Amino acid sequence: MSHDLLVYMTGKSAAVAAPPRRPRHAMPAVAKRAGHLPGRRRMPEQGVVDKYVGWVPFGFVIAAIVMLAAAGVTWVTSPYWHTHITMAAPRNVGVVPVTVTAKTGTTVPVVPAAFVSPDMIEIPRLGAKAPIVDVNTLSNGSLDVPLNPKIVGWWEGGAKPGAAKGTAVLDGHINYAGVEGVLSRIGTLNPGDAVFVDGMSNGKRTRLAFKITGVRTYSKEALPYREIFDQHSIGRLAIITCGGPFDAKTGNYLDNIVAYAVPA
């Protein structure tokens, strides 16, 4: 979940002028010395040649070492290092919850037992458990994502998990700096899989149980923001990360994967 940046984005350099030519200056007059004819170029002494030429290859070696070291640091710390290893295949199963249909065929809302200020999420089927921190939208309108892929963000501008109305949005990186994210495999979840969210409710430690209703894969070029961030829906979770093909040119995944859940 590009700092990856992940969702809610409204959209995802210049020629360099040639340096000015240095003015040509007249070469200074060379004093006549014995053994040198006027108009002839005097060759420098061998020691002078060794003094300067000897430093040239050494300088190149030093520059090469510095460049390799810098490249190594960039490679290891890049958020896209090893990203080709983690792939989330496109998948669409189940339903996106807006309301829940009872056996009688009528449409009834799900009424949760409580809502929490979340600080922990657990998805048993994936063996995933991670702390939750508050995140907000960035100046460009994109949703912030915790840099650490082992931490999940909760959008504090939306509903709290367990609220009777609105979407509680949770996000996380699929990977970062070669570390696989805790939400990297949410695309493999099936309807009915359990999700637990822990937090404080009315001063008490509370655990809420949810069940997955569906999984959707959306192209970032056609992301249904209103559907994902809907605050007029029944109370639900939208758990988001990146997925689909990885574009090495931009350093981004092309899709977002969203797992929807309602109170169990």
Contacts of 152 (CB under 8 A, 6+ apart): 121, 130, 131, 132, 133, 146, 170, 171, 172, 182, 183
Q: Which of 89, 90, 251, 258 is closest to 167 using CA atoms?
A: 258
CA 219 to mean position of chain CA atoms: 16
Q: Which of 14-28, 173-187, 227-241, 242-256 has the lowest mean pLDDT?
A: 14-28
Exposed / middle / buried, residue 132 (Cβ in 10 Å: 0-12, 13-18, 19+) = buried
Which percentage of the chain shows pLDDT scores above 90?
52
Runs of H (alpha helix) within 29-135:
46-53, 55-77
pTM exceeding the 0.85 threshold for the entire prediction: no
> Tell me, what's the pLDDT at 128?
97
Q: Which of 84-93, 112-121, 199-208, 242-251 has the lowest mean pLDDT?
A: 84-93
Assess whether pLDDT exceeds 80 at residue 185. yes
Compute the mean pLDDT over every residue in the chain, rounded to the nearest whole number. 76
> Tell me, what's the pLDDT at 60?
57
Task: Tokens 């009315």: give the residue.
Answer: 202
Q: State pLDDT tens for residues 140-165.
A: 888 999 999 999 999 999 999 999 99
Q: State pLDDT tens for residues 186-239.
A: 999 999 999 999 999 999 999 999 999 999 999 999 999 999 999 999 999 999
